[in-house]
Amino acid sequence: MTINLLVKLLFVCVTSIVMIGCTNNGSDKQNEHQHDSSTATIAKDTSKKSIPSEASNTIGSATINIKYHSPAVRGRVIWGGLVSYDNVWVTGAHSATTIEVDKDFMVGGKTIPSGKYALFTIPSKDEWTIIINKNWDQHLADEYDEKDDIVRVKAKPAITTAITERLKYEIESVTANTGNIVISWEKIRVSFQIAVR
Protein backbone atom coordinates (compact mmCIF):
# COMPACT_ATOMS: atom_id res chain seq x y z
CA MET A 1 0.00 0.00 0.00
CA THR A 2 2.74 2.44 0.93
CA ILE A 3 4.68 1.83 -2.30
CA ASN A 4 1.51 2.22 -4.40
CA LEU A 5 0.68 5.46 -2.60
CA LEU A 6 4.20 6.80 -3.19
CA VAL A 7 4.03 5.87 -6.88
CA LYS A 8 0.67 7.65 -7.24
CA LEU A 9 1.96 10.75 -5.46
CA LEU A 10 5.11 10.78 -7.62
CA PHE A 11 2.99 10.42 -10.78
CA VAL A 12 0.76 13.37 -9.75
CA CYS A 13 3.83 15.54 -8.99
CA VAL A 14 5.57 14.76 -12.29
CA THR A 15 2.35 15.35 -14.26
CA SER A 16 1.81 18.72 -12.51
CA ILE A 17 5.39 19.85 -13.22
CA VAL A 18 5.09 18.89 -16.90
CA MET A 19 1.74 20.68 -17.23
CA ILE A 20 3.04 23.84 -15.52
CA GLY A 21 6.12 23.79 -17.76
CA CYS A 22 4.01 23.42 -20.90
CA THR A 23 1.66 26.20 -19.83
CA ASN A 24 4.56 28.57 -19.10
CA ASN A 25 6.27 27.76 -22.38
CA GLY A 26 3.06 28.42 -24.27
CA SER A 27 2.46 31.79 -22.57
CA ASP A 28 6.13 32.76 -23.01
CA LYS A 29 5.82 32.07 -26.72
CA GLN A 30 2.56 33.98 -26.85
CA ASN A 31 4.09 36.95 -25.02
CA GLU A 32 7.12 36.80 -27.27
CA HIS A 33 4.88 36.78 -30.36
CA GLN A 34 2.86 39.72 -29.06
CA HIS A 35 6.06 41.67 -28.34
CA ASP A 36 7.43 40.96 -31.81
CA SER A 37 4.22 42.03 -33.55
CA SER A 38 3.97 45.27 -31.54
CA THR A 39 7.61 46.07 -32.33
CA ALA A 40 6.94 45.51 -36.02
CA THR A 41 3.90 47.80 -35.86
CA ILE A 42 5.94 50.60 -34.25
CA ALA A 43 8.82 50.22 -36.71
CA LYS A 44 6.69 50.32 -39.87
CA ASP A 45 4.71 53.43 -40.77
CA THR A 46 1.51 52.11 -42.31
CA SER A 47 -0.66 55.19 -41.81
CA LYS A 48 -2.34 56.44 -44.95
CA LYS A 49 -3.11 59.75 -43.29
CA SER A 50 -1.03 62.90 -43.13
CA ILE A 51 0.55 63.11 -39.68
CA PRO A 52 0.69 66.34 -37.62
CA SER A 53 4.42 67.12 -37.34
CA GLU A 54 6.72 69.78 -35.97
CA ALA A 55 10.30 71.01 -36.39
CA SER A 56 11.93 73.29 -33.84
CA ASN A 57 15.40 74.71 -33.30
CA THR A 58 17.22 77.80 -32.13
CA ILE A 59 19.35 80.04 -34.30
CA GLY A 60 21.20 82.66 -32.33
CA SER A 61 18.78 83.88 -29.67
CA ALA A 62 15.68 83.06 -31.74
CA THR A 63 13.48 79.98 -31.46
CA ILE A 64 11.99 78.80 -34.75
CA ASN A 65 9.02 76.47 -34.85
CA ILE A 66 7.42 74.94 -37.95
CA LYS A 67 4.13 73.04 -37.75
CA TYR A 68 2.80 71.03 -40.68
CA HIS A 69 0.96 67.89 -41.72
CA SER A 70 3.27 65.28 -43.21
CA PRO A 71 1.89 63.20 -46.10
CA ALA A 72 3.56 59.98 -47.29
CA VAL A 73 4.69 58.97 -50.77
CA ARG A 74 2.93 55.57 -50.67
CA GLY A 75 4.12 54.70 -54.17
CA ARG A 76 2.46 57.73 -55.74
CA VAL A 77 3.90 60.13 -58.31
CA ILE A 78 4.56 63.24 -56.24
CA TRP A 79 6.16 65.92 -58.43
CA GLY A 80 4.00 66.81 -61.38
CA GLY A 81 1.41 64.36 -60.03
CA LEU A 82 0.05 64.74 -56.49
CA VAL A 83 1.86 68.11 -56.28
CA SER A 84 1.33 69.99 -59.51
CA TYR A 85 4.10 72.17 -60.88
CA ASP A 86 3.86 75.96 -61.00
CA ASN A 87 1.00 76.28 -58.52
CA VAL A 88 0.95 77.54 -54.92
CA TRP A 89 1.30 74.55 -52.59
CA VAL A 90 0.65 74.44 -48.86
CA THR A 91 3.87 72.40 -48.62
CA GLY A 92 2.18 69.88 -46.39
CA ALA A 93 -1.47 68.87 -46.07
CA HIS A 94 -4.68 70.14 -44.49
CA SER A 95 -3.96 73.44 -42.69
CA ALA A 96 -1.36 75.88 -43.96
CA THR A 97 2.18 75.09 -42.83
CA THR A 98 3.19 77.66 -40.22
CA ILE A 99 6.54 79.13 -39.27
CA GLU A 100 6.80 81.00 -35.98
CA VAL A 101 9.88 82.96 -34.88
CA ASP A 102 10.11 84.76 -31.55
CA LYS A 103 12.60 87.39 -32.78
CA ASP A 104 12.75 89.57 -35.89
CA PHE A 105 14.27 87.55 -38.74
CA MET A 106 15.38 87.90 -42.33
CA VAL A 107 14.56 85.86 -45.44
CA GLY A 108 15.85 86.93 -48.84
CA GLY A 109 17.23 90.18 -47.40
CA LYS A 110 13.79 91.21 -46.10
CA THR A 111 13.35 91.87 -42.37
CA ILE A 112 10.22 90.19 -40.98
CA PRO A 113 8.82 91.04 -37.54
CA SER A 114 8.67 88.23 -34.99
CA GLY A 115 5.43 86.29 -35.21
CA LYS A 116 3.58 83.47 -36.93
CA TYR A 117 3.30 83.15 -40.71
CA ALA A 118 2.27 80.70 -43.43
CA LEU A 119 4.95 79.00 -45.48
CA PHE A 120 3.94 78.22 -49.05
CA THR A 121 5.95 77.12 -52.07
CA ILE A 122 5.54 77.04 -55.82
CA PRO A 123 7.44 73.94 -56.99
CA SER A 124 8.77 73.82 -60.54
CA LYS A 125 11.06 71.29 -62.18
CA ASP A 126 14.15 73.49 -62.05
CA GLU A 127 13.35 76.12 -59.42
CA TRP A 128 11.08 76.59 -56.44
CA THR A 129 9.57 79.80 -55.08
CA ILE A 130 9.47 79.98 -51.28
CA ILE A 131 6.74 82.24 -49.88
CA ILE A 132 6.28 83.71 -46.40
CA ASN A 133 2.67 84.90 -46.18
CA LYS A 134 0.77 86.83 -43.47
CA ASN A 135 -2.32 84.60 -43.49
CA TRP A 136 -1.22 81.56 -41.48
CA ASP A 137 -4.71 80.50 -40.36
CA GLN A 138 -6.17 78.87 -43.46
CA HIS A 139 -7.02 75.49 -44.95
CA LEU A 140 -4.54 74.40 -47.62
CA ALA A 141 -4.07 77.35 -50.00
CA ASP A 142 -7.82 77.96 -50.31
CA GLU A 143 -7.56 81.54 -49.04
CA TYR A 144 -4.07 82.24 -50.34
CA ASP A 145 -3.70 85.76 -51.68
CA GLU A 146 -0.46 87.03 -53.19
CA LYS A 147 -1.08 90.47 -51.71
CA ASP A 148 -0.44 88.93 -48.26
CA ASP A 149 3.04 87.74 -49.27
CA ILE A 150 5.80 89.27 -47.16
CA VAL A 151 8.67 87.81 -49.17
CA ARG A 152 9.34 85.42 -52.04
CA VAL A 153 12.72 83.78 -52.62
CA LYS A 154 13.97 81.36 -55.26
CA ALA A 155 15.55 78.02 -54.38
CA LYS A 156 17.07 75.21 -56.44
CA PRO A 157 15.77 71.71 -55.71
CA ALA A 158 18.36 68.95 -55.26
CA ILE A 159 17.72 65.31 -56.18
CA THR A 160 18.61 62.80 -53.48
CA THR A 161 19.48 59.12 -53.86
CA ALA A 162 17.37 57.98 -50.91
CA ILE A 163 13.61 58.41 -50.69
CA THR A 164 12.16 60.46 -47.83
CA GLU A 165 8.84 58.66 -47.40
CA ARG A 166 7.16 61.43 -45.41
CA LEU A 167 7.42 65.16 -46.00
CA LYS A 168 9.98 66.50 -43.54
CA TYR A 169 11.05 69.95 -42.39
CA GLU A 170 14.39 70.54 -40.69
CA ILE A 171 15.91 73.70 -39.22
CA GLU A 172 19.70 73.57 -39.54
CA SER A 173 21.99 75.98 -37.72
CA VAL A 174 24.80 77.22 -40.01
CA THR A 175 26.46 80.12 -38.16
CA ALA A 176 25.73 81.94 -34.91
CA ASN A 177 22.95 83.93 -36.58
CA THR A 178 22.01 82.03 -39.74
CA GLY A 179 20.45 78.73 -40.61
CA ASN A 180 18.61 76.82 -43.32
CA ILE A 181 15.03 75.67 -43.49
CA VAL A 182 15.16 72.34 -45.33
CA ILE A 183 12.17 70.67 -46.97
CA SER A 184 12.57 67.02 -48.04
CA TRP A 185 10.08 64.69 -49.67
CA GLU A 186 10.35 61.76 -52.06
CA LYS A 187 13.70 62.41 -53.82
CA ILE A 188 13.61 66.22 -53.64
CA ARG A 189 15.38 68.40 -51.07
CA VAL A 190 15.09 72.18 -51.15
CA SER A 191 16.30 74.77 -48.65
CA PHE A 192 16.38 78.49 -48.01
CA GLN A 193 18.33 80.64 -45.59
CA ILE A 194 16.98 82.36 -42.51
CA ALA A 195 18.90 84.90 -40.43
CA VAL A 196 18.12 86.39 -37.03
CA ARG A 197 19.15 89.79 -35.71
Q: Which residues of the chain have pLDDT under 70?
A: 1-46
Give me the torsion for CA of 102, 195, 167, 160, rounded to 10°.
Answer: -160
The predicted model scores a pTM of: 0.76
User: How confident is the model at residue 197, as a pLDDT?
Assistant: 80
User: How confident is the model at residue 145, as a pLDDT?
Assistant: 97
User: How confident is the model at residue 36, as a pLDDT?
Assistant: 38
CA-to-CA distance for 158 and 73, rounded, in angstroms?
Answer: 18
User: How confident is the model at residue 7, as a pLDDT?
Assistant: 44
